[in-house]
Amino acid sequence: MPDPILAVAGVSKTYKGGFTALHDVDLEIGKGEIFALLGPNGAGKTTLISIICGIVTPSTGTIQVAGHDALTDYKAARRLIGLVPQELSVDMFETVLATVTFSRRLFGRSGHSAYIEQVLRDLSLWDKRDAKIMELSGGMKRRVLIAKALAHEPEVLFLDEPTAGVDVALRRDMWKLVHKLRERGTTIILTTHYIEEAEEMADRIGVINQGKLLLVEEKAALMKKLGKRELDLALVEPLDAVPEGLERWQLNLANDGRTLRYVFDATEEQNGIPALLRELAERHIAFTDLETSKSSLEDIFVDLVGERA
């Protein structure tokens, strides 16, 4: 991991009613990396982001942004952070240009028109700069929120469910934008329900559930470590049950007995496939086709959350 630009240590949040939304979270994010925080609804993703950005007060713990304490040196810390919230929270009566300029000034910068123009052009909003936000579509409003978050040239950008409810084209555009921002050196932390989004973009992945950070891992390492592969054999004759004597492979049947499925650990040197094929041949169980696939990040996520819930 590159040098950390964000360091979260021992952060917990317990609300007045006694509900604990976060349990002792430790997390470091490297400068320039794309980090995806995955978790089901209510896992604590937004609470964690809100605490880092200063919207929610933590019960315990410290947060450092490029060496600035987010509580005691909050002005320096917040100048470095941009946040795109989950909700479409934007003043509907303002024009696009006015609201983006407002955001830039709010974060202590002068109304730099050339930079704002570039941001609006990057997000295909320049032609809509004089339009009132209420006149825009949901996807365009989402772009306005991103433009507002980028208006003060942040070094760390939080994207809280950035593509929730947007169409496929806009989602692809946003992915491109994220890659472009990363090329400029911006650190990006995103929460998402779309596993494909994390799989597509992230360098590292954190999984959070019930307020606990279950793991933080390089995406590739996580896939390798927890990934499983499947071998599907299309049988010539369907089977009613897995034949006796094949227990060591822990096989199961799918597709009304027409497919024999073998799930194995991708990291094991001996995956047992040659032996299985020999065994099937000896038992005269013929197949017409075979196909292997690896488990997706979504499968891994479901396994993790299911196991540790």
Quick check: 18 binds other proteins (CB under 8 A)?
Answer: no
In this structure, are strands 4-14 and 156-160 parallel, antiparallel, or unpaired? unpaired
The correct pick among 75, 244, 282, 289 for binding other proteins (CB under 8 A) is 75
Q: In which element (H, E) is residue 107 found?
A: none
Quick check: 15 binds other proteins (CB under 8 A)?
Answer: yes
What is the gyration radius of the CA atoms in the chain, in angstroms? 24
The residue among 50, 39, 36 whose CA lies nearest residue 188 is 36
Stretch near other proteins under the rule CB under 8 A, chosen from 71-79, 177-185, 249-257, 265-273: 71-79
Quick check: 54 binds other proteins (CB under 8 A)?
Answer: yes
Give the residues across from 12 on adjacent strands. Answer: 60
Residues 77-106 that bind other proteins (CB under 8 A): 77-79, 81, 83, 85, 87, 89-93, 98, 102-103, 105-106
Q: What is the nearest approach in angstroms of other proteins to the Cβ of residue 156?
A: 12
Residue 71 to residue 77: CA distance in whole angstroms: 9
Residue 192 to residue 162: CA distance in whole angstroms: 7
Q: What is the nearest approach in angstroms of other proteins to the Cβ of residue 14?
A: 11
Q: What is the nearest approach in angstroms of other proteins to the Cβ of residue 111?
A: 8
Quick check: 164 binds other proteins (CB under 8 A)?
Answer: no
Q: What is the nearest approach in angstroms of other proteins to the Cβ of residue 183?
A: 25
Q: Kindly tell me which of 158 and 301 has the beta carbon lying closer to other proteins.
A: 158
Q: Kindly tell me which of 133 and 233 has the beta carbon lying closer to other proteins.
A: 133
Q: Count residues contacting other proteins (CB under 8 A)?
A: 32
* HSE of 56, CA atoms in CB hemisphere, 13 A: 21
Q: Kindly tell me which of 92 and 281 has the beta carbon lying closer to other proteins.
A: 92
Quick one: CA torsion of 92, 98, 101, 103, rounded to 10 degrees? Answer: -20
Q: What is the nearest approach in angstroms of other proteins to the Cβ of residue 170?
A: 21
> What's the Cα-to-Cα distance from 306 to each of 1, 78, 176, rounded to whole Å?
28, 36, 32
Q: Kindly tell me which of 81 and 233 has the beta carbon lying closer to other proteins.
A: 81
Residues 117-156 that bind other proteins (CB under 8 A): 148
C-beta separation of 8 from 25 below 8 A: yes
Stretch near other proteins under the rule CB under 8 A, chosen from 28-36, 69-77, 274-282, 286-294: 69-77
Q: In which element (H, E) is residue 83 found?
A: strand 81-84
The correct pick among 18, 41, 57, 240 for binding other proteins (CB under 8 A) is 57
Q: Kindly tell me which of 90 and 216 has the beta carbon lying closer to other proteins.
A: 90
Q: Kindly tell me which of 154 and 203 has the beta carbon lying closer to other proteins.
A: 154
- Secondary structure (DSSP) of 185-254: T-EEEEEES-HHHHHHH-SEEEEEETTEEEEEEEHHHHHHHH-EEEEEEEESS--SSPPTT-GGG-EEEE
Where along the sequence are the contacts to other proteins (CB under 8 A)?
15, 50, 53-57, 74-79, 81, 83, 85, 87, 89-93, 98, 102-103, 105-110, 148
